[in-house]
Amino acid sequence: MPYITSVDGTQIYYKDWGTGRPVVLSHGWPLNSDSWEAQMLFLAESGFRVIAHDRRGHGRSTQTWGGNEMDTYADDLAALIDALDLNGVSLVGFSTGGGEVARYIGRHGTAKVAKAVLVSSVPPFMLKTPDNPGGVDVEVFDGLRAGSLADRSQLYKDLAAGPFFGNNRDGQEASQGMQDAFWRQGMQAGHRNAYESIAAFSATDFRSDLATFDVPTLVIHGDDDQVVPFEVGGKASAALIPGAQLKVYPGAPHGITDTHKDQLNVDLLEFLKS
């Protein structure tokens, strides 16, 4: 199995499919690189070299005790890009992975980056604070933490059966297999890693990171996202990134990498080829 070693000795698992211009995909919480399989197959068959890694503590990567925060996630991404000697790379981040991409650009710049895509992503800042009054109340994230400690297996099943794929909305019907894949990936993550990642994606302020974006950027978000609300995520990010292109999926939930995979694949391909 392919691994790279991060700066603190953490083993980061990755997949590397196809040939051509490189695209690196960063996954959401509490998932792993398997969550990108539809996009990986499509883009690799369309002439790109597509790479997706398991964030530390998730999937097949080392379940570290520490480093479960955005600075280290971004540094792990940098270690992957450096180890594979990638240049002119397009970075695509879904949900928490969008935060990883934003923090990477904020910490490491865009010398090796050609384009960026934020999909259902957590930037610019999810948590409601005095200077971010439109954010999400901390009680929502405290509920995730409590659910994780009480019975995280059931928490993941409830998220998959409800808000993540929008199954609690009329007309949305994520298959049982789709829900089971979410649960399986979640349970592969380390308990502490997934727990601490809740703070990483909810309480990290990416506003200054977005201000440093100087490459073509596409922001994609569903306007019925119940996990990262559109007004908090995609709409706000697009407003902060100079020249960003915003695509809104009407009625779409959070998990559009699965529920809207065909539309997302086409939009990604069009942007990457432009």
One digit per residue, pLDDT tens: the chain, 274 residues? 799 999 999 999 999 999 999 999 999 999 999 999 999 999 999 999 999 999 999 999 999 999 999 999 999 999 999 999 999 999 999 999 999 999 999 999 999 999 999 999 999 999 999 999 999 999 999 999 999 999 999 999 999 999 999 999 998 889 999 999 999 999 999 999 999 999 999 999 999 999 999 999 999 999 999 999 999 999 999 999 999 999 999 999 999 999 999 999 999 999 999 9
Q: Is residue 123 reached through a cis peptide bond, with omega within 30 degrees of 0 on the bond before it? A: no
Structure tokens at 136: 């999400």
Q: Which residue among 254, 258, 260, 267 is the active-site one?
A: 254
Structure confidence at residue 171 (pLDDT): 85
What is d(CA 239, CA 225) in angstroms, rounded to the nearest whole number?
18
Structure confidence at residue 249 (pLDDT): 98
Clarify whether 225 is annotated catalytic.
Answer: yes
Percent with pLDDT over 70 in the chain: 100
Residue 22: enclosing H or E segment and its boundaries? strand 21-26
Indicate yes or no: pTM above 0.95: yes
Q: Say if residue 74 is exposed, middle or buried (CB neighbours under 10 Å; 0-12, 13-18, 19+).
A: buried
How many angstroms separate the Cα of 120 from the Cα of each of 16, 18, 45, 140, 228?
23, 25, 24, 18, 7
How many Cβ atoms are within 10 Å of 241's Cβ, its own excluded? 27
What is d(CA 174, CA 161) in angstroms, rounded to the nearest whole number?
8
How many angstroms separate the Cα of 170 from the Cα of each of 211, 225, 254?
38, 14, 15
Clarify whether 254 is annotated catalytic.
Answer: yes
Structure confidence at residue 108 (pLDDT): 98
- CATH superfamily entry for domain 3-273: Alpha/Beta hydrolase fold, catalytic domain (3.40.50.1820)
Structure confidence at residue 1 (pLDDT): 75
Structure tokens at 30: 């509490």
Going across the sheet that includes 3-5, the strands are: 3-5, 11-17, 48-53, 21-26, 89-94, 113-119, 217-222, 245-249
Structure confidence at residue 173 (pLDDT): 85
Tell me the per-residue pLDDT of 76-105, one tens digit each, with 9 for 90 and over. Answer: 999 999 999 999 999 999 999 999 999 999
The string of DSSP codes covering 219-264 is EEEETT-SSS-TTTTHHHHHHHSTT-EEEEETT--S-HHHHTHHHH
Q: Which residue among 54, 76, 209, 225 is the active-site one?
A: 225
Clarify whether 121 is annotated catalytic.
Answer: no
What is d(CA 92, CA 163) in angstroms, rounded to the nearest whole number?
23
User: What distance lies between CA 45 and its chain's CA centroid?
Assistant: 22
Give the start-to-end residue ranges of the domains of the chain.
Answer: 3-273
Q: Which residue among 6, 33, 35, 95 is the active-site one?
A: 95
Structure confidence at residue 128 (pLDDT): 98
